[in-house]
Amino acid sequence: MQFPEYRGRRLRKNENFRRLVRETRLSVNELVYPLFAVPGRDVKKPIASMPGQFQMSLEHLAKEAREAHALGIPALLLFGIPAKKDEQGTGAFAKDGIVQQAVKRIRNEVPDMLVITDVCLCEYTSHGHCGIIEKGEVQNDATLEVLAETALSQVKAGADVVAPSAMMDGQIAAIREILDENALENIPIMAYSAKYASSFYGPFREAAESAPQFGDRKAYQMDPANSDEAIREISLDVNEGADIIMVKPALPYLDIICRARQEFDLPLAAYNVSGEYSMIKAAAKLGWIDEEKAMLESVTAIKRAGADILITYWAKDLAKALAK
Ligand code: PBG
* 321/281 Cα distance (integer angstroms): 16
195/146 Cα distance (integer angstroms): 20
With a 6 Å cutoff on the Cβ, whether 276 touches ligand 1 is no
The number of the ligand 1 atom at minimal distance from the alpha carbon of 313 is: 15
Q: What is the pLDDT of residue 85?
A: 97
**Closest atom of ligand 1 relative to the 204 alpha carbon:** 14
Distance CA 99, CA 154 (A): 7
Distance 272 CA to ligand 1 centre (A): 11
- What residues are annotated to the active site? 195, 248
Is the CB of residue 172 below 6 angstroms from any atom belonging to ligand 1? no
Q: Where are the alpha helices (DSSP H) in the chain?
A: 15-21, 58-70, 98-109, 140-157, 171-181, 202-207, 228-240, 254-263, 274-285, 291-305, 315-323
Distance 96 CA to ligand 1 centre (A): 23
Helices 98-109 and 58-70, axial angle in degrees (round to 10): 40
Is residue 115 within 8 A of residue 159, CB to CB? The reply is: yes
Look at residue 136 in the predicted model and tell me its pLDDT: 93
Residue-wise pLDDT for 18-44, tens only, equals 999 999 999 999 999 999 999 999 999
Q: Is 150 in the pocket of ligand 1 (CB under 6 A)?
A: no
Q: Which residues of the chain have pLDDT under 70?
A: none
Percent of the chain with pLDDT over 90: 99
- Cα–Cα distance for residue pair 216/211, rounded to 1 Å: 9
pLDDT on residue 109: 97
| Ligand 1 binding pocket includes 125 (Cβ within 6 Å) | no
182-200 confidence digits (pLDDT tens): 999 999 999 999 999 999 9
Q: What are residue 137's DSSP bridge partners?
A: 134
Q: Report whether the peptide linkage leading into residue 34 is cis, meaning its omega lies within 30 degrees of zero.
A: no
Contact call for residues 288 and 280 (beta carbons, < 8 A)? no
pTM of the model: 0.97
* Neighbour tally for 136: CB within 10 Å: 8
Spacing, Cα 79 to ligand 1 middle (Å): 9
Structural domains present in the chain: 26-322 (3.20.20.70)
